[in-house]
Structure 1
Amino acid sequence: MKKLAELTTAEFVDLLASDAPAPGGGSAAALEGALGAALSAMVCGLTTVGKSKEKYADYQEFVIESQKKLTELKVAFVDVMDRDTEAFNVVSAAFGMPKATDEEKAARSAAIQKGLEGCTATPFEMMELSCKALEMTHELLGKTNDSAASDLGVAALSLRAGIQGAWLNVLINIGSLKNKDLAADYKKKGEEMLAKALPLADKIYENVLAQM
């Protein structure tokens, strides 16, 4: 089977719309993040060519480095998109394990819990990536090609959707974790990231909107 990243856009959205349980919201959130990071990287690229290169001469080194890091984040998002679906498949397989004896029930329960931890780790990673990408996008305000301001705004919106979508997937999984300390840690760190990232996304959007 092809990896999600190897599908055409039409194939991906058709699969997403099908009755297949995966890919789902987690993979969609990762794709949103990848699109956001890619857009911000594109804006950086548009700032290092032509007249923009002269206009933003003071920021060239920063913009070039930002483009490199955002491109790396884009790649990381695409990677975790597939790993999120793989993690879901592990849980699905665990639920299908036999449960006729006490030993089988214990093994099944342990496998489910291990799978749920994996299903929580991937969207949490998406949140971390989204937070980094939003911080970098925010730092680009006023330092990049103003003709591409709308693209920076869409990047912020995509990253906002990515981090909030990933958060919903974290929440739905930690509710089934028996390790309550781990669940509480994810919840605390996730809320801290949201408190930091969402205002940044809104600030970027409002800044771009003011330029329209």
Structure 2
Amino acid sequence: MKLVEMQLNEFVKILGSNAPAPGGGSASALAAAQGIALTKMVTELTIGKKKYAEFEVEMKDLQEKAAVLQEELLVAIDEDTVAFNQVSAVFEMPKNTEEEKKERQKAMQNALQGAAMTPFKMMEKIVAALELTQKAIGKSNTNAASDLGVAALNLKAALQGAWLNVLINLSSIEDDAFVLQYKRDGKELVTKGSTLADTIYQKIIEII
């Protein structure tokens, strides 16, 4: 069964068990999905309201984009665990001969790169989600303003969590160019996303 298809209590139980996966990556994806879902909720509570008629077109656009990101981040819950399992599977490969050792090493490096790229792609989606959330401020239902703040908090936690998962995999990758690229690009995403999240949170504090 896919993680995303589990009951909430089932997911939390397996998350808190001695099973190595799901772990922080899948938890980060869930937090991100919750964050953008809250942003989508705010657009839903704004669309059709006369008070916000001038923002109707923009809110509908945000709603559609948020819906896409919500689904993609839900998929990421399982993608992260799949990537981890692919790394774990390499440990089962034989290493009796030099040829087998070389194949095992190559497979491990490929799996580690995949395990680093998965949360990195999640980070890109999270920053996009934060950008959508920011656009909703001042144009959406003020009765749900606090939900945009909670969305930002969830998305920031998810962003930083995904970054930790990128870093832990990069630490075992031998391709220096790959490591350099993803460290550089990842830092940029963390800085941009964290700044966005903090800005959103502060604006919401001022509104409410």
Q: TM-score range by the shorter chain?
A: over 0.9
Q: Which residue of 2 aligns with 1:32?
A: 31
Q: Which residue of 2 aligns with 1:81?
A: 77
Aligned-partner Cα distance in 2 for 1:193–1:118: 18
Equivalent position to 2:133, from 114, 133, 137: 137
Aligned-partner Cα distance in 2 for 1:187–1:71: 29
Q: Which residue of 2 aligns with 1:179?
A: 175
Do residues 13 (structure 1) and 18 (structure 2) align? no
Aligned-partner Cα distance in 2 for 1:168–1:3: 23
Q: Which residue of 2 aligns with 1:119?
A: 115
Q: Which residue of 2 aligns with 1:211?
A: 207
Aligned-partner Cα distance in 2 for 1:190–1:68: 27
For residue 58 of structure 1, what is the amino acid of its counterpart? Answer: E
Q: Which residue of 2 aligns with 1:54?
A: 50
Aligned-partner Cα distance in 2 for 1:197–1:88: 25
Q: How big is the shift at 1:172?
A: 0.4
Equivalent position to 1:146, from 142, 146, 149: 142
For residue 168 of structure 1, what is the amino acid of its counterpart? Answer: L
Q: Give the match's secondary structure for 1:39.
A: helix
Aligned-partner Cα distance in 2 for 1:193–1:106: 34
Aligned-partner Cα distance in 1 for 2:115–2:43: 33
Do residues 94 (structure 1) and 90 (structure 2) align? yes
Could you list the runs of 4 or more consecutive aligned residues of structure 1 that deviate by over 6 angstroms after TM superposition?
Answer: none
Aligned-partner Cα distance in 2 for 1:112–1:81: 22
Structure 1's unaligned 5+ residue stretches are none
Equivalent position to 1:162, from 139, 146, 158: 158
What is the TM-score of this pair, normalised by structure 2? 0.98
Aligned-partner Cα distance in 2 for 1:196–1:124: 14
Q: CA offsets, 1:71-120, max 9 Å, x none?
A: 10010001121111111111101022111110111111111111101101
For residue 185 of structure 2, what is the amino acid of its counterpart? Answer: K
For residue 44 of structure 2, what is the amino acid of its counterpart? Answer: G
Aligned-partner Cα distance in 2 for 1:96–1:211: 55
Q: How big is the shift at 1:196?
A: 1.1
Q: How big is the shift at 1:211?
A: 2.3
Q: Which residue of 2 aligns with 1:191?
A: 187
Q: Which residue of 2 aligns with 1:200?
A: 196
Q: CA offsets, 1:40-95, max 9 Å, x none?
A: 0000000014xxx1111111000011011001001000112111111111110102
Q: How big is the shift at 1:162?
A: 0.7
Q: CA RMSD for the aligned pairs?
A: 0.7
Aligned residue pairs, count: 208
Q: Give the match's secondary structure for 2:84.
A: helix
Q: Which residue of 2 aligns with 1:44?
A: 43
Aligned-partner Cα distance in 1 for 2:82–2:76: 9
Q: Give the match's secondary structure for 2:45.
A: helix
Aligned-partner Cα distance in 2 for 1:178–1:137: 37
